Amino acid sequence: MTRETVLARIKAAQAAVADSGGGGSQGGQAPATAELPVLPVPQSFADPAALFIERARQLGVGVEIAVSIDDAAGRVPAWCRHKSVHRVAVWDTPDLAPIVASLRTEGIQILRPEAPLGELATADLGITGAAWGVAETATLVLPSSLAQPRLTSLLPPIHLAVLSADRILPDLPALFRSPGRLPSALTLITGPSRSADVGLTPVLGAHGPMEVMVFLVRNVAAEAASPLA
């Protein structure tokens, strides 16, 4: 297709929009814009954390309850040994520092986000925080940044997320009504990666980890940084 053909099609499309009254402002008035859809009213659950745990286990997601981030840090290494984990890719965020320190004490290799891709590809486990949890679907909501790359939750065969119980929302409408600005990019994770694209045969780990584990922290230390910070 020639340059002239492409430009002619663009001009024709612009002319069609102008003829229909949809292009640009007319008579000093701003062009009409489509309204955003109205969000449903968030649901209300007596115990969102309990519902999150129930739905997560229905999806095959493991859940461990920790009373504090230090409690989680003391238990994650034993869990890693049980899973034969030797290398861990981890977010570079303050809230995960106690877990990183505990893993290093046990001789487990830590791979930071800036590690070469070839090294990250050898990780047995990816550890992340979670900005939010969604009780209705047991969904983990992960922000994305240089210190919190999506690769950490997608590349290793096992994903371990540390979620504060007070960050669990009832449903997705509540997420989009949450106070403050959401990050520019979010990853929503609901259970291990599944696909039945080929022959309608369900396969685990087709587009991400085969196993997801959540350490649910009931009382995060006050000085720990927020996952959205």
Phi first, then psi, for residue 131 (nearest 5°) are: -70, -40
Q: Find all residues with CB under 8 Å of 112, minimum gap 6, and list them.
A: 90, 92
pTM: 0.77
Residue 157: give the domain boundaries.
48-195+202-217
In a domain, residue 25? The reply is: no
In a domain, residue 28? The reply is: no
Structure letter (DSSP) for residue 41: P
In a domain, residue 163? The reply is: yes
In a domain, residue 14? The reply is: no
pLDDT band at residue 148 using 50, 70 and 90 as cut-offs: very high
Share of the chain above pLDDT 90, in %: 64
CATH number of the domain bearing residue 65? 3.40.50.10420
In a domain, residue 223? The reply is: no
Element (H, E) at 186: strand 186-189
pLDDT band at residue 206 using 50, 70 and 90 as cut-offs: low
In a domain, residue 225? The reply is: no
**Number of domains observed in the structure of the chain:** 1
In a domain, residue 226? The reply is: no
In a domain, residue 156? The reply is: yes
pLDDT of residue 198: 67
Residue range 149-168, pLDDT digits in tens: 999 999 999 999 999 999 99
Tokens 């040994």 sit on residue: 81
Q: CB–CB of 55/135 below 8 Å?
A: yes
